[in-house]
Structure 1
Amino acid sequence: MSDISIGLLDSMEAPVSADSVTLELLRAARATVRASPLGVIETPMIPWSQTTLPPCGPCNIHIKMENMQRTGSFKIRGVANQFARREKGGHFVTMSAGNYGKSFAYASKHYGSKGKVVMPETAPTSRSTLIQSFGVEVERVPTSCMMDTVNRCIQENSMTFLHSYDDLDLIAGHASLGFEVLEKMAKPDVVVVCCGGGGLLAGVAAAIKLSGCHQTRIYGVEPEGACTMYRSFIENRPMGMDTRSIASGLAPPFAGTLPYELCRRFVEAIVLVSDEQIKMAVSTLYKSGLVVEPSGSAAFAAIVNGKIPDMENKNVVCILSGGNIGKDELTHFPD
């Protein structure tokens, strides 16, 4: 699948370009996230050298522990800004492999909204069960049918679509993570971030670059089997594909349009890691006492497998983006 048509949604949403993303907008979103009743926390950022992780060469690496965030991932940041800017008690639909859906469901319960999450059939069933526990409906469908299902919900049930990564409010909320990084390391040389649809990568990159860190190199990391942003960089337009990866949270069927524009403007490059490298990353982190899901381990996998160039004697930030992994899932990873 080389291109994705999102049908009905094209005519419903006014186009937003990268020029809409300003430092002022991101700072305002950060204030909203900080004040959110959803309880978003400022996660720790610790030196690699102060962990029991294996040494990783002559560089100063700090790990941003977003796996410790409320609801277990960075997604709550964007959701906090999205819901703050939507009508209370609305009827919303979204699509998610798990982490966004969990934060969406958590926010829906808090705000008294009705919600539905369209999930890919490949997502762990434990995640759909958790989402349903918040009183939100889940419909599992093939990945290629997710957008058609969302469009049906909009047409038949008058539901409002909240995008899980291609949304200005969401991206602005995610930028709060970038600002937190700069408070701990004012001028990082390298920042490594996972990339699925690109919402987190776009938000973090925009916050860092618009704050004046023009020399910082920001890298996105995707699985080899779900490399939509990587292909988008090659084709110079947002691309889709039939995605397959153990990191289901990094495997949406297409790259977001706004995330793509922002990533092309602010991101140095997209690098790829294999599923086996992701599995080893999860295992290595777990052995050091860090519970991180496959999607959340991608940046770490890129660093330990030499995918990031010119790190020697540099100040590097590695973002662990999520920790939603169950005991049953951990049994599938190498000892």
Structure 2
Amino acid sequence: MAHVSADTVTLELLTEAREVVKSSPLGVIQTPMIPWAQTTLPLTINCDIHIKLENMQRTGSFKIRGVAYQFAQREKGGHFVTMSAGNYGKSFAYATKHYGTKGKVVMPETAPVSRSILIQSFGVDVERVPTPCLMNVVNRCVQEENMTFLHSYDDRDLIAGHASLGLEVLDVLPDPDVVVVCCGGGGLLAGVAAAIKLSGCEKTRIYGVEPQGACTMFQSFIEKHPVGMDAKSVASGLAPPFAGKLPFELCQRFVEGIVLVSDEDIKSAVSTLYRAGLVVEPSGSAAFAAVVHNKIPDLEGKKVVCILSGGNIGKDELTNFPD
């Protein structure tokens, strides 16, 4: 797969992608963004926080945004393969069913089995493998079965689709001081950050949030190049085997920093959100966890956006979290 330069991610591209995403037959919606003060969520910091509810998005997460633009740029009728711990795989499967194409999702063995069953229900094949083997299996499918690989986070079209979320944020809050976004491979963080900074909000501070046990982007910032690791976290959607090259370049350009939260922080965040009536999965709760556990610097008196990126969590998973 040829590398695409970060210079090709322009405001013109992101604006065009947003219009395609808005009119997509996949039914992407403009999700609500509400003031934190309108919820029963605890807040110990004196600031104006808004939460973007991507847990209410079609297919249950932001991933459908990128998938909508990815599929719009590809020839229909192909045979596609991807790797995903769940949310991208669900949106990918939803799209293949809509367009009548064939698909296969390679999943890490650590992903909940319920996610595999759900993805298979859309008519795509699922192969579960150890996390370090994900790309090997994908490459086998490309070479031996002539499949087309759609990357779940290191893809310009995907990032451009995700950027629609950042542009929606600016519709409601045109000049945020701080935006907090979860980070796995970096596709969402890169798209949101590019959309906000390229729209003229140079002073907005944007932070990515990763689990301590799956900190590929954090480590990539330290080593100044994309790195991989044997990532493990309760937030399986934020635990890819490596950081994306294009997301890394865009994050280096537009993101102030990456902060880390523990699995215990994430579990606590899921429970707190649930008690407030918000069903948010561990991966989708990372940004919230960073805010409530004071991981983001200098929030006092600031206008802050916290993105809840997904709500795909089953009853079986909820039983593993504290009341």
- TM-score with structure 2 setting the length: 1.00
Distance 1:136 1:100 in 2: 13
Matches of residues 160-179 of structure 1 in structure 2 within 5 Å? 160-179=148-167
Q: Percent identity?
A: 80
Distance 2:72 2:45 in 1: 43
* Of 241, 245, 248, the match for 1:253: 241
1:163 Cα deviation after fit: 0.1
1:57 Cα deviation after fit: 1.6
Amino acid at match of 2:235: A
Q: Deviations over 1:66-95 (max 9, x none)?
A: 000000000000000000000111100000
Distance 1:285 1:102 in 2: 23
Distance 1:163 1:322 in 2: 19
1:56 Cα deviation after fit: 3.3
1:232 Cα deviation after fit: 0.2
* Of 77, 82, 88, the match for 1:100: 88
* Of 164, 174, 194, the match for 1:206: 194
1:276 and 2:300 correspond: no
Q: Deviations over 1:230-265 (max 9, x none)?
A: 000000000000001000000000000000000000
1:214 Cα deviation after fit: 0.3
- RMSD value over aligned CA atoms? 0.4
1:14 Cα deviation after fit: 2.4
Distance 2:179 2:3 in 1: 29
1:81 and 2:69 correspond: yes
Question: Which is worse superposed, 139-148 or 46-55?
Answer: 46-55
Structure 2 regions of 5+ residues with no counterpart? none
* Paired position in structure 1 for 2:128: 140
1:177 Cα deviation after fit: 0.0
* Paired position in structure 2 for 1:8: none
Distance 1:125 1:153 in 2: 22
1:292 and 2:277 correspond: no
Amino acid at match of 1:266: F
Q: Is the 8 A contact 2:43 2:292 kept in 1?
A: no
1:119 and 2:104 correspond: no
Amino acid at match of 2:279: V
Distance 1:74 1:186 in 2: 20
Distance 1:256 1:54 in 2: 34
Structure 1 regions of 5+ residues with no counterpart? 1-12
Distance 1:16 1:142 in 2: 28
Q: Deviations over 1:70-127 (max 9, x none)?
A: 0000000000000000011110000000000000000000001100000000000000
Query: SS of the counterpart of 1:55?
Result: coil
Q: Is the 8 A contact 2:48 2:301 kept in 1?
A: yes
After TM superposition, what 4+ stretches of structure 1 lie above 6 angstroms from structure 2?
A: none
* Paired position in structure 2 for 1:225: 213
Distance 1:296 1:169 in 2: 22
* Paired position in structure 2 for 1:195: 183
Query: SS of the counterpart of 1:94?
Result: strand
1:47 Cα deviation after fit: 0.3
Amino acid at match of 2:222: I
Distance 2:180 2:282 in 1: 15
Distance 1:90 1:113 in 2: 6
Amino acid at match of 1:197: G
1:314 and 2:302 correspond: yes
